[in-house]
């Protein structure tokens, strides 16, 4: 009896096992992977003023050559012709790099402080980091509008404590600075948690050994703590960098008209100009830009498993 | 202890940064004045106007239905996905499978949203309630898979093996042994899926249709017009709802954990 069930569990493709893998597999293939093939196809087709606003191409097998000749890279060429797109891509990358760096700068000391806190306190601290993450992204960005706008609470605070005259106002709402504040605020938990889990596992005897041998604390940090926390640094940076590059809500609500980010450009192209093929081309290029960071992220995750 | 004082300062500042904006938002939802910077006394009037705002209430109802349905579907699919990843080290296309689980976690929402919409259009499916639900199921199942996977990896398989050795069929073993043991993670996964669905603006905007306006879409369209105390009120209710949910979930997790430890003790004493 025992051996039968064992071999069954190990080798025979019984229907239950098959079901466990195939159902989520097919779901993801259909609703996650197939859409990418479609988006690529649409990005090669022409815009049409209709609903859906692109020339639908269901050619049948006979017309396949004619169908292929209809596809072209026109939309991609357009992306290189209008400087708006290149500027948006570069500006997104710049904002994502700077904010990831800021997140590391704030998140690292925070994660380190959490990892060095008394062990009984740690679960509470982790919970406190996670809790804002459960609160709506949109709500958290919205909360900053009331604070940052010229007649908002920050101005009021600075005027009350006398750092600002009654007629002066804080003018960072609808600028890149507001976008950075919004991004750092929204993504901080994503940066802190991977860093914390890397730092928490650290073997403290290494630091003790270093200090016994006369190594000053700052040097021990750079020689021991930081290198050992590198997996957390990479994971946290990727988890933040990739979505920030395509961020829409934050630059739209906190940024100004001159805050170019590709997520916003794509949104306008789709909802404003109703140019679906061009929006698809914008998305495909963004995806290609993010392939390398996504691969790094995936590798990092696989090591954890 | 110089470093511990430094740590305490860092933690205080960071948590202040994380919580003060939310606290301000909640406090000003009870403000009698319509102006953000003026405190006009305590009032519940914005909750009343919110309650009588039919558009907002309809959106809340749509969001709740989408959330429950997609979180439930996403939890089932995500749990299956986690089982496949942890239990079956080899099957054709496993690389692609794990890639499809991790990629949605970091994929910019504008890409996921747009590409899914194009799929629905290609399949000639009318956009609306169901397309939003399917879209939400797809990205939430990946979060559930990660949460359940981490529980499965620290899972003591000897109990399962014992059941199988005693002739319990695999499916029954799953429902009798495995599922009860991973239940806290499954529940946490469901809650995460539900709040993610509750939150999502971008993917829902792409995949929604007539009659399926969700709360974030509604909030977003009003926020663009400026800060209003009514929005603060609805946000406060959402925050309260989520906070209570998270606290209840963590209490129940702790309880089941304690019960499990106690049961194990009893079982051990029984055998010796």
pLDDT of residue A68: 54
pLDDT band for position A101 (cuts 50, 70, 90)? very high
Q: How far is CA A296 from CA A231, A235, A241, B104, B221, in A?
A: 11, 8, 12, 14, 36
Q: Please tell me the predicted confidence (pLDDT) of residue B11.
A: 93
Task: Kindly list the distances between the CA atom of residue A285 and the CA atoms of A85, A288, A296, B102, in Å, as whole numbers in the listed order.
Answer: 10, 5, 18, 20
* Residue B154, pLDDT score: 82
Could you report the per-residue pLDDT of B11-62, keeping only the tens digit for each? 999 999 999 999 988 888 888 887 766 788 888 888 888 888 888 889 999 9
Q: Is A188 on the interface with B (CB under 8 A)?
A: yes
Hey, is the C-beta of A5 within 8 angstroms of any chain B C-beta?
yes
The predicted structure's pLDDT at residue A10: 47
- Tell me how close the Cα of B137 comes to any Cα of chain A, in angstroms: 10
For range A8-15, the mean pLDDT: 53
Q: Measured between CB atoms, does A42 come within 8 Å of chain B?
A: yes
Which chain B positions have a beta carbon within 8 Å of A2's beta carbon? 164-165, 167
Mutate to test the interface with B, among A10, A21, A297 (most CBs of B within 10 A): A21
Q: What are the structure tokens assigned to B191, written together? A: 């809650």
**Mean pLDDT, range A5-10, rounded to an integer:** 43
Nearest residue, CB atoms, B110 vs list A153, A242, A246? A246
Q: Provide, as residue numbers in chain B, all residues whose Cβ is less than 8 Å from the Cβ of A34.
A: 119
pLDDT of A269 strictly over 80? yes
Is B53-271 a domain of CATH 1.10.3720.10?
yes
Tokens of B95: 């690389």
pLDDT at A67 > cutoff 80: no
Structure tokens at A240: 């933040």
pLDDT tens digits, A49-59: 555 566 655 54
- pLDDT (0 to 100) of residue B44: 87
Identify the pLDDT of residue A48. Answer: 58
Of the candidates B60, B97, B71, B103, the one whose C-alpha atom is nearest the C-alpha of residue B82 is: B97
d(CA B191, CA B245): 8
Quote the minimal CA–CA distance from B51 to chain A in Å. 19
B141: pLDDT strictly greater than 90? yes
Q: Does B37 reach chain A within 8 Å, measured CB to CB?
A: yes
Residue B120 distance to chain A (closest CA, Å): 9
Match 């704030």 to its residue by tokens.
A106
For residues A54 and A42, is the Cβ–Cβ distance under 8 A?
A: yes
Q: How confident is the model over A25-35, as a mean pLDDT?
A: 93
Q: What interface predicted TM-score (ipTM) does this complex get?
A: 0.86
- Percent of chain A exceeding pLDDT 90 equals 38
The answer to whether residue B177 scores a pLDDT higher than 50 is yes
Q: Does domain A79-304 have CATH number 3.30.428.10?
A: no
Record: contact B11-A114, CB cut-off 8 A: yes
* Token pair listed for B263: 């049961």
Whether the CB-CB separation of B100 and A266 falls below 8 Å is answered with no
**Average pLDDT value for residue range A246-253:** 93
- Predicted confidence at residue A244, as pLDDT, reads 95
Least CB–CB distance from B108: residue in A34, A125, A263: A263
Average pLDDT, chain B: 87
CB atoms A153 and B36 under 8 Å: yes
- In the predicted structure, residue A22 carries a pLDDT above the cut 70: yes
Average pLDDT of chain A, as a whole number? 84
Find the mean pLDDT for residues A244-259.
91
Q: What is the structure's pLDDT at A123?
A: 86
| Token pair recorded at residue B3 | 């470093």
Is the CB of A114 inside 8 Å of chain B's CB atoms?
yes
A125 contacts on B by Cβ (under 8 Å): 11
Per-residue pLDDT of B76-115, as tens digits, reads 999 999 999 988 878 888 889 988 998 898 899 999 999 9
pLDDT band for A189, please (50, 70, 90 cuts): very high
Please list every residue in chain B whose beta carbon sits closer than 8 Å to the beta carbon of residue A245.
Answer: 108
| Residues in chain A closer than 8 A to B153 (CB atoms) | 305
Contact B111 A286 (CB under 8 A): yes
Which residues of A fall within a CB distance of 8 Å from B242? Answer: 134-136
Write out the two tokens for B172: 């029954």
| CB neighbour burial string for B53-72, b if at least 16 within 10 angstroms, e if fewer | beebeebbebbeebbebbbe
Say which residue, B257 or B10, is predicted with more confidence.
Answer: B10
B contact residues 197-236, partner A, Cβ 8 Å cutoff: 198-199, 201-202, 205-206, 216, 219-220, 223-224, 227, 231, 235
Helix or strand or coil: residue A225? helix
Q: Which residue of B has its CA nearest to A242?
A: B106
Quick one: pLDDT at residue B120?
93
In chain B, which among 146-185 make CB contacts under 8 A with chain A?
Answer: 149, 153, 164-165, 167, 170-171, 174
Cα-Cα-Cα-Cα dihedral sign, residues B58, B143, B154, B158: positive
pLDDT for the residue numbered A53: 62
Q: Contacts from B31-36 at CB under 8 Å and sequence distance 24+?
A: B31/B229, B31/B232, B34/B228, B34/B229, B36/A146, B36/A149, B36/A151, B36/A152, B36/A153, B36/B227
How confident is the model over A273-289, as pLDDT tens digits? 888 889 999 999 999 99
**Mean predicted confidence (pLDDT) in A99-111:** 96
Number of H helices, E strands in chain A: 17, 0
3-state secondary structure of B42: strand
Q: How far is B192 from chain A (nearest CA, A)?
A: 7
Q: Tell me the average pLDDT across A141-147.
A: 89
Given a contact cutoff of 8 angstroms between Cβ atoms, the answer to whether A113 and B13 are in contact is no
Amino acid B270: pLDDT: 67
Where along chain B do its domains lie?
1-43, 53-271
β partners of residue B31: B42
pTM (2 d.p.): 0.86
How confident is the model at residue B213, as a pLDDT?
A: 92
DSSP state of B126: P
Least confident range from A148-157, A272-281, B262-271: namely: B262-271
Question: Chain B residues with CB inside 8 Å of A242's CB?
Answer: 106-108
Please state which of the ranges A2-16, A104-118, B90-104, B224-238 shows the lowest mean pLDDT. Answer: A2-16
């Amino acid at each position: 009896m025992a051996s039968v069930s064992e071999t069954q569990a190990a080798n025979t493709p019984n229907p239950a096992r098959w079901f466990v893998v195939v159902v989520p597999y097919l779901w993801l293939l259909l609703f996650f992977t197939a859409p990418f093939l479609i988006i690529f196809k649409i990005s090669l087709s022409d815009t049409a003023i209709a609903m859906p606003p692109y020339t639908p191409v269901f050619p049948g097998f006979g017309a396949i050559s004619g169908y292929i000749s209809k596809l072209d890279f026109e939309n991609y060429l357009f992306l290189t012709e209008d400087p708006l797109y290149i500027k948006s891509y570069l500006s997104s990358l710049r904002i994502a790099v700077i904010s990831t760096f800021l997140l590391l700068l704030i998140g690292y000391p925070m994660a380190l402080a959490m990892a060095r806190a008394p062990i009984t306190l740690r679960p509470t601290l982790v919970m406190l980091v996670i809790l804002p993450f459960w609160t709506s992204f949109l709500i958290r960005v919205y909360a900053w509008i009331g604070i940052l706008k010229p007649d908002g609470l920050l101005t009021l605070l600075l005027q009350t404590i006398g750092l600002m005259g009654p007629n002066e106002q804080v003018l960072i709402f609808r600028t890149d600075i507001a976008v950075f504040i919004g991004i750092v605020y929204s993504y901080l938990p994503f940066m802190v948690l991977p860093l914390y889990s890397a730092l928490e596992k650290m073997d403290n005897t290494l630091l003790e050994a270093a200090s016994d041998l006369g190594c000053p604390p700052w040097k021990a940090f750079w020689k021991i703590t930081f290198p050992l926390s590198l997996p957390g640094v990479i994971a946290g940076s990727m988890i933040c960098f990739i979505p920030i590059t395509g961020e829409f809500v934050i630059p739209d609500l906190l940024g100004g008209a001159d805050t170019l980010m590709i997520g916003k450009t794509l949104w306008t192209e789709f909802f404003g100009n109703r140019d679906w093929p061009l929006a698809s081309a914008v998305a495909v290029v963004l995806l290609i830009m993010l392939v390398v960071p996504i691969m790094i992220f995936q590798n990092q995750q696989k090591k954890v498993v | 202890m110089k470093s511990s004082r430094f740590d305490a300062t860092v933690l205080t500042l960071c948590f202040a940064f994380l919580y003060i904006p939310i606290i301000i938002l909640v406090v000003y939802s009870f403000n009698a004045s319509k102006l953000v910077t003026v405190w006009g006394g305590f009032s519940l009037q914005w909750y009343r106007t919110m309650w009588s705002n039919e558009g907002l209430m309809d959106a809340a109802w749509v969001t709740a239905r989408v959330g429950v349905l997609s979180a439930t579907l996403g939890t089932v699919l995500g749990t299956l996905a986690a089982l496949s990843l942890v239990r079956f080290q080899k099957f054709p296309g496993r690389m692609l499978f794990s890639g499809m689980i991790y990629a949605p976690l970091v994929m910019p929402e504008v890409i996921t949203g747009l590409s899914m919409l194009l799929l629905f259009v290609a399949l000639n499916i009318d956009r609306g309630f169901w397309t939003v639900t399917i879209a939400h199921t797809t990205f939430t199942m990946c979060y559930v898979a990660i949460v359940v996977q981490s529980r499965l990896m620290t899972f003591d398989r000897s109990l399962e093996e014992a059941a199988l050795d005693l002739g319990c069929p695999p499916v029954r073993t799953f429902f009798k042994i495995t599922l009860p043991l991973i239940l806290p993670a499954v529940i946490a996964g469901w809650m995460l899926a539900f709040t993610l669905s509750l939150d999502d603006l971008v993917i829902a905007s792409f995949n929604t249709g007539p009659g399926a306006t969700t709360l974030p879409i509604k909030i977003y369209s009003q926020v663009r017009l400026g800060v209003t105390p009514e929005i603060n009120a609805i946000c406060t209710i959402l925050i309260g709802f989520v906070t209570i949910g998270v606290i209840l979930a963590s209490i129940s997790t702790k309880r089941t954990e304690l019960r499990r430890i106690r049961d194990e003790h009893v079982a051990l004493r029984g055998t010796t």
